[in-house]
Structure formats: C-alpha cells, structure tokens
A and B are shown apart, each in its own frame.
Chain A
C-alpha cells in the first residue's frame, strides 16, 4: 500500500520515539510469536542493518518534518528477536545510521534488548561506546526447570552472570520474568529479590500466553506441559506484585514495575499514544491518525528496500471511534488510570468494582489495582461496549 502523502504529522513529535526491530535469534523459544528467525548469517545480518538505515532515509523522504529534523528524538528502543545477536560492528553501524542521523534530546533514553547467553563483554563494549544507557535482559527465570520448559538456551548461571555484567556497566538495567509452567512461588519471589539486589531497577513480569501454532501450545495440547491454573497464576502474580513493592518497585503498568524514575519512557509513550517511528521487518509505527506495520517477511522486506521502496506494510487508519477506544483502554493499563470523564456511563459498576478491590476511584480517575489488572480484558470489553 502506498504511504499517505505529506503533510503528515511527524512520528517524531514531542516526546516521540524510534523502534528498530532486529529479527535474529540464535534459537527460537517455544512460546514466542514475535517476528524472528534462527536461520541467518553475517551477510543476511549486514543486509538487514543496511536496510533499516535505508528505510529511515526512505521514510524521511516522504515526511517533511522528519527530513527537516526539527524534532528531537527522546527515546529509542532496539528490540527483537535478539539485538545482542548482532555483531558489535553491525550494531554500531545500525545505531550510527539511524539514531546517529537524527537530532537527539540531551536525555535520550536508548534501550537495547539482550538475551543473557549472547550478552558478552564485546557486546557490552560496543553498546557502551554507541551510547546505550539502558539494557533490557530477557531473563524469564533463574530456575533451570522453568527455563527448560520454555525452550530457553540459557542456564541460571549464565543468566546471573549477565545480570551482574549488565549492572556493572549500565546505569539502568531492566529484566523480564515470566509466570508460566513450573514456576514456584517461593523461588519466583527469591529470584526477583536477588535480581533487585544485584542492581536491576525495572522488572517486566509477563503471564505466559499460549499462541496458536507455537511449540509450547502444541506441548500443552499434547499434555507434555501443564499451564498453571488461573487461580495459581493469580496467586503468583499478586505475590510478585507485593514483593516488588516491598523492594521499592512500583507497578506502573499491567506487567511493568520500576524503582522511582526508572520506568521505561519509551514504553510509556505507547500507552499515552505518542507518535513513534518504526524501522525493520515486523516493526510498527504510529502517526497521529494511522498505525503501520512493516511486513514480517524478511526477504520481502529486504527486496523492497533494496529496490528503493518502502516495505510492504499494513496500514491501520484510526477513525475517531478507534482513537477514542485506544485513549481509554491504553491508559487503563497504567497506574495513572483513566479520567472518569472518558468512562462511558453505566459501562462499569464502579462501586462494586471498588468493593471487589478491582479499582479505585479518586481524584477524578479510575485506577485498576493489581487484582483489576488481572481482569483487564473483561474490563476493556465492557468499556469498548459502552463506547459503542
């Protein structure tokens, strides 16, 4: 589909960000449904980096305010896949060809995702010299049994080593944990306590979801792996929320917890609907009135860019109703909550939800509690229905 013609609102509006998707992994995790591949070599990686750089130039050519460079980049996030799977020189080339070409704010938040097993001292050196200030480690668990069930390559010792290494060299370190098969409450709490003690200031805690077609969902269907019951998941989640709070990490979104001033500014921008630019296969971006998603097919992506064209992309035009819906359900995920004025009349039984401990209503806002976050899909549905 042809991109809409200028003038367009800039994806790098005030507080705007940049997302780059690196689709390479050494091995594939059984539960993941992101755009990624394990079949790659140096040449393919180099072509992909070059293509991301070229995509920025193509997008700038289509967008006046991007090309004029009036707006400063406030956040950038390199995700995957596994960005740490890129060779140091390719990584440097990727950053200098993208972030390096844009005017950046003095307090730029530059985050890169890493897997413990590929997070080496050489990677650390390259990232530090490229200006990376924040590392997000895909730890998931420090329990060998859990890691094995998830199909992770990493063992607990490697994961611990990576945490120590990251905390020694980077000012801000975030780590992902998962609630899934085999997770024990005491171990989970002990792991989180250990990680915070090592210097992790931000935790993303995900309740494992089964995606159709993933190896894990096949294993569950075949009875080889048992997912925890809803009741057990609820217990684990609430216990983790309490423990993290005791350790000083405030819950600021359904799955995200941080020490004061350590929240991911980049991710917060998603929930407040700030525009951002996305580059790379499977990457996505938001202009004021439309979202786009690049094709996840790496060869199709490369072929287009190398032919001097924007990659195939799906465009999601945001009608006023769609924008209204997003403006309610996205802030609903956050601790800041939703202004009561945006909640449709009679969509929710507000007093009953307060009594049930699902939300609080004060200072003119509805804020979900941890128990409420556990039921957010149902709450979103009620709001969506109320918005009509």
Chain B
C-alpha cells in the first residue's frame, strides 16, 4: 500500500526548468505559472518574484537559482506537483545551469517572438538534449505587434526537428496560452523515476548559506529518502553532517519530515561553510548510503582573475570581511591575499567569468560600501619553466623572467556567435583582431548565422563582448566554453611610472601586439594622469626593453601669490577640499594616479 502510494506521488510529479536568453521573458513566465497554479497569494506577488536580489531585479538576470514547488489541479480534477527550477541565465554560470538541468526531466525552451533564437539558447538546448530532457518549445511575447511567430516557429522546427503543432505560443505578459502550457508540461514531461527504497541519493544543484541552519543544499532526490536528523555525507570531501531541517520550496523554505525519491527540495546541513555543499556533488546518508556519486561533478573552476584593492588602505579589513561573507554564499568565488607594490594590500580573486566579476564587484561596492580598484582581468596561464616544471600563473606580475621560461600556454575557448547575416563581416573582423580562428559558419535560417571561433580567453575577457555588441548594433549573442591551453608567443608587458613598475597594470600579451597595446596604454594614462609637481614618465616595457613611452609634463606655474591674514582660512579650506578629492587618487611613489586610470585600461583600443 505504502509503496503504491509513493509510486502514485512520483507519477504526479513533474520536474522542469526554463531555458531562455536574457530578456526573453523567463522570469515573467515563471510569475504567470505561480499565479495560475495559485502558488502565491496575491499579496506575495510582484514582477519577477523569483529574482529576489536587488541586482537581479535591476539587471533583469537570474544569479542564484530559485526553485519553487507548485500544486496544480488539472481541469479534470487530478492534482500534480510541479517543481520549477529557475536557472541562472548567463554563460558564466554554464556549470550551474548544467547541474540544474541534471535535476530535471524536462525543459521549456522559451524564445522571444521578436528576437528569435540566440547563441546561448542553442548551447543550453544542446545541454538539455545531452541530459535527455524532454524539451517543450515555447514562443513568448506573441502579444507584441512586431512578433514574428512563424519565423521563430521555423527556427524551432529546424533546431529540434519538431512539428509545428508541438510549439506552444504564449504571452507571459498577458497570460495567454499559459494554461495550455501547464497541460503540456504534465502531458509531455515524464514523471521522475527512482526507487524510494534504494540507498538515498540526491544531487546538489545550488546552495546558500543561512546563519541559523548553516549551508543549505538545494537538491533533487533520485533514490531513497532523507529525514530530519539523518547523518549525511558527500563525495567531494570527508566531512559528514546532521540534517538540521529539510523540505520544499515556496517563496520561502517549508519544512517537512522527509524528502523522497523524485522530489526537489532543500537539506540544511549545519555546515559552517557553503564550500562543504558543492554544486554537482552527491548527498547520501551515512547509514546504508549509496556507494557511487551521481555523474557530472566537477569543481567550479574560476576562469577570470582580477586583483581587488581598497582605494583607501584602511578599508582592507572591511574588504576581507565582505569577501568572506560573499564566499559563504558563493563557492565559485575564490580569493587569496596579494600585495601589490602600487596598490598595497588586496586580494587576487577568481571568477567564473566577466559577469560574475562585475556582480561581485558591484555587490562589494553597493552592499558593503567599499571603494575598490580592480586590476585588468586576466586568465590562468600555464608556464613551462626551463626546469620542466609547470607553473600556474594567475597574476601577470608574477610571470617569471623570460630567461626562465620555455613556453607560456594560455586558455583557449570555443566561442559561438549568432548574428544577423549583415554583421558577419564585422564579427569575423573583430574576432580575428583578437587572435580568433574561425572554426565554422552555418546559416541557421535565411537571416541568422552561427559562427564558431577558437579564441584566447584573455582576448575575450578584455572587451570582446562589448565590441561584438557594438559592431552588430547589439544583435550578436555570444556563448563560450573552455577548450584547451595552447602555447603562443606571449610576453609580459610592464607599465612603469617614473621607472617603477605599476604592477596592477602588468599584462600578458602576444609579442606582435605588445608595441601597439603598450603605446595605447601609455597614451591613455597620459590623458588620465593629471599634471604634477614633477614630470611623470610613463613607459611600457618587455623585460628591460622599453617599447613605448609618454610623459606628463609638470606644472610650470601653480601658485597663489597673495596670502595674508584674510586669505588663510580660504586657503586651508581649499586644501582640505582638494585632499578629499584626492582620496580617489592612488599615490604610487609620489605620483597621484586617479582611480579611473585603472579602469581605463579596459577601454584602450588595440
């Protein structure tokens, strides 16, 4: 009887996610599903209710995953449990997306009726197909007057090989088609398989830190049952924990007595650190646990690195504290202490990608009130030393002397760019300028072209995405994944200010580009560094060889000639005001360098 009851419960469950490009309406569609199923009371409802972070609401993106359980009564009276696993919508979070997909049986592939299929949609679709997910094609925003529903339907048919009548048409804004969509979810997506009596096995697809119950794992249970008080263990480390609490997701977490095979929910572990609850790891019970982890776990690997320094050295401890707090919730953020001759004490931080870097930096400044200088983003180089050893180098300033190096290998990514056909030439040019190599080109339909390139990640992180957008009037979309490390003729380019290296601006560049890059950088710095008491010499150098040079001329005359009794207060107040203004300047030796100079290197033409 009990077994039959459990089997029935599983049969009435559907676990699914939504795959969509930014702005194609994923969060709004989620709002409609919550409304239509009566999951949230009217007073709990607001736009993009699942994106709770201020930054998510503002940028219209999902950073953290927000699963939610909906109870749905079909027209014929039968009841179902629908678990929606909202996934992060950016290429930086590729791995997180793949784990979320692994927790589902089905996916809604949502495409904007005006914009059509984008690069990232395709890659995530392939990811879903790899996980054997049932894909339901959905055209959203059909209420828009400029909607190209037939055109997008054509794209779907080409991509999925589906029939036209399998494609759902909805307007998340007006709610049109949402009931049909709910019925399609139940009819087409298979119910979860699994054995409630087998050893307990659950996949962690996300985690958060909660000060009361410690690290909380977001899980999909595949087999067996977890209960409050169980001792649980993971496979990525040797620690074990006692389940403090477990249950389902609504807008908040709803505690339950147990979580069973087929269910999506959370397990509060009591772990002091989210790093014990790693995305992709498998949770099992200590007693009669499973012996093999679920497949697909890899450690989240930072791809982009940047030094973060407080503008005011006194803020160092606050920055440390803020990073520790952010890391409690974000295991993919890594950092270690670092000292820069120019910037003082700070941290070399590792990020999943540029958006991740931007988000962390913005949160540090916004939520923690810190004023930061970030060094030029760079990547992880593998350096083959003369003695045959491989050195991993995440900080260009640490690259050894050329005489000690046999070769330098840099990360190469495979990038997919989808663009309207009229911008193909521009896209190829911009990519070749960044040492890209074209791998393939394919017409997705009569309008859109998919281009695949192999490209050094370092070239990509600096400004490739911005460039791509600007040469395609915003239409090109980009996705990429790590391919390999490959050797090239790479050199370390130092920037010297009055002969002292400004290590925060050191970068690794291709030898052929060192001169141009160095000159652009020197010119930009010349624009940004104000005149000072003495001449400021700005040089770019490879080793001891100077490849470019500019100078900032000193003041000729900078004097207030008259200063008697009545002028003194005015003079002092002016000095105090100027001193405040200079807090945004970094003193390097005795040269004042404005904070913008450290950012401007990102914008330098090459």
Contact = CB atoms under 8 A, between A and B. Distances in A.
Are A and B associated in one complex? yes
B556 A231 contact: yes
Contacts of B358: none
Interface in B94-118: none
A267 B563 CA distance: 9
Contacts of A326: 568, 572
Contacts of A376: 558-560
B581 to A, nearest CB: 10
B587 interface: yes
B556 A267 contact: no
B557 interface: yes
Interface in A190-227: 205-207, 209
Contact of A378 (B532, B566, B589): B532
A326 B571 CA distance: 9
Given A379-B533, A381-B582, A385-B582, A374 B559 contact: yes
Interface in B557-595: 557-566, 568-569, 571-572, 575-576, 578-579, 582, 587, 589-590
A207 B575 contact: no
Contacts of B482: none
A301 interface: no
Nearest to A352: B534
Given A316-B569, A378-B533, A384-B578, A230 B557 contact: yes
Interface residues of A, number: 50
A206 B562 contact: yes
A352 to B, nearest CB: 6
A270 B562 CA distance: 12
A222 to B, nearest CB: 23
Given A325-B575, A330-B568, A380-B575, A375 B582 contact: no
B555 interface: yes
B563 A254 contact: yes
Contacts of A270: 563-565, 568
Contact of A349 (B561, B562, B590): B590
B557 A255 contact: no
A291 B579 contact: no
Contact of B559 (A316, A349, A373): A373
A313 to B, nearest CB: 12
A135 to B, nearest CB: 17
A278 B565 contact: yes
B579 A385 contact: yes
A381 B556 contact: no
A276 B575 CA distance: 23
Interface string A300-319: 00000000000000001000
A349 B534 contact: yes
B579 A209 contact: no
A358 B556 CA distance: 11
A230 B579 CA distance: 24
Nearest to A284: B566
A353 B557 CA distance: 15
A377 interface: yes
Given A206-B561, A233-B557, A293-B566, A375 B533 contact: yes
Nearest to B566: A284
A179 to B, nearest CB: 8
Given A286-B565, A326-B572, A207 B582 contact: no
A282 B566 contact: yes
A358 B590 CA distance: 15
A322 B564 contact: no
Contacts of A353: 533-534
A379 B554 CA distance: 12
Interface in A67-119: none
Contact of A207 (B534, B557, B576, B590): B557
Contacts of A209: 560-562
A330 to B, nearest CB: 7
Interface string B535-561: 000000000000000000011111111
A379 B590 CA distance: 11
A369 to B, nearest CB: 13
B575 A19 contact: no
Contacts of A6: none
Contacts of B575: 325, 329, 380-381, 384
B572 A325 contact: yes
7 contacts: A207-B561, A230-B556, A234-B556, A276-B565, A283-B566, A353-B534, A378-B558
Q: Which 7 A-B pairs have the closest CB atoms?
A: A230-B556, A230-B557, A384-B575, A284-B566, A207-B561, A316-B569, A377-B558
